[in-house]
């Protein structure tokens, strides 16, 4: 409902790392298709981040998915920085099906994490190449940070 014009575009979960006792929010995101405007997709990204923050204020957050934003990513990067998030592109293009639409469609946004690498993996059944995000906890993150589980 939050990310109209389509449904089921954000799935998030709050997890605890049993080894380090860190809590974080991990999410999968899918933006509106290329027929929509970049402005709509930016609004969807901001709405998704707001929903994820509602899962635990102050928690580290990683949102990965199909942002459908292959053009003007420099502008998107500025919007992410202004909202406190880091935008990380993969090492190679993630969509190569059509000659006209090639590029980085799949990204990671993060809050409180140090993204070390975003690797593009070999093609599977999807028209997008999957990505693998390698991250470390940020220096400011402390175990048990955030409110207790409800």
**Domain presence at residue 111:** yes
- 77 Cβ contact list (under 8 Å, min separation 6): 87
Least confident of 29-38, 55-64, 87-96, 126-135: 87-96
**Domain presence at residue 75:** yes
Query: How many Cα atoms are found within 13 Å in the side-chain-facing hemisphere of 5?
Result: 7
Predicted local distance difference test score (pLDDT) of residue 72 = 75
- Angle, CA of 106, 133 and 3, to the nearest 5°: 45
3-class DSSP string for 21-89: CCEEEEEEEECCCCCCCHHHHHHHHHHHHHHHHCCCCCCEEEEEEECCCCCCHHHHHHHHHHCCCEEEE
| Residue 11 near residue 48 (C-beta atoms within 8 A) | no
Q: Which domain holds residue 73?
A: 10-137
Pairwise CA distance, residues 134 & 91, whole Å? 12
Q: What is the pLDDT of residues 59-107, one digit of tens each?
A: 999 999 888 876 677 888 888 888 889 988 777 665 666 555 666 677 8
Count of domains observed in the chain? 1
**Domain presence at residue 62:** yes
**Domain presence at residue 5:** no
- The CATH number covering residue 54 comes to 3.60.10.10
pTM given for the model: 0.81
pLDDT at residue 29 tops 70: yes
pLDDT range class, residue 54, cuts 50, 70, 90:
very high
Pairwise CA distance, residues 13 & 102, whole Å? 31
Closest CA relative to residue 28, chosen from 79, 80, 63, 73: 63
């Amino acid at each position: 409902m939050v990310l109209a014009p389509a449904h089921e575009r954000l799935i998030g979960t709050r997890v605890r790392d049993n080894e380090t006792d860190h809590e974080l929010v991990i999410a999968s995101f899918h933006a509106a298709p290329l027929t929509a405007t970049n402005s709509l997709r930016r609004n969807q990204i901001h709405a998704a981040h707001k929903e994820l923050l509602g899962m635990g204020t102050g928690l580290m957050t990683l949102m990965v998915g199909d942002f459908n934003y292959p053009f003007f990513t420099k502008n998107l990067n500025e919007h992410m920085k202004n909202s406190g998030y880091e935008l990380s592109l993969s090492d190679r293009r993630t969509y190569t099906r059509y000659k006209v639409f090639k590029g980085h469609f799949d990204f990671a946004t993060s809050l409180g994490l140090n993204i070390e690498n975003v690797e593009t993996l070999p093609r599977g059944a999807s028209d997008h190449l999957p990505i693998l995000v390698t991250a470390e906890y940020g220096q400011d993150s402390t175990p048990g940070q955030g409110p207790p589980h409800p």
